[in-house]
Amino acid sequence: MRKSLRNFKAQETGERRAAELMEKYGSMSEDALYAKLMQEVASAKSDGSFSAADLAADVDRMRPYLTEQQVEKLNHLLRIIAGG
């Protein structure tokens, strides 16, 4: 039972984070969104706060809201980020 509650809280937190991300970035154009992502990654890498795991988790939360084409483009950007 305890494990189920822990999973529920993690899911609830993830859903809240997804809603926050959609509110923050939902009105941006696709090009502006990708530019902002690259800018934030570069900034986080330069100050040492970049976390590939956190970025992957945020992306996973956004995937249900994206088209297949957007997911493909995002996957391409993630490969660039991981390699860079």
Return the pLDDT at 9: 62
pTM reported for the whole predicted model: 0.57
Digit-coded pLDDT (tens) for 46-76: 999 999 888 888 888 888 878 899 888 888 8
Alpha carbons within 13 A on the beta-carbon side of 47: 6
How many domains are there within the chain? 1
Q: How many angstroms separate the CA atoms of 62 and 60, rounded?
A: 5
Closest by CA to 17, choosing from 59, 66, 48, 45, is 59
Q: How many angstroms separate the CA atoms of 24 and 20, rounded?
A: 6
Digit-coded pLDDT (tens) for 19-46: 787 788 778 888 888 888 889 899 999 9
The residue whose two tokens read 């980020």 is 81
Contact 22, 65 (CB under 8 A): yes
Q: How many helices and strands in the chain, by DSSP H and E?
A: 4, 0
The answer on pLDDT for 5 being more than 90 is no
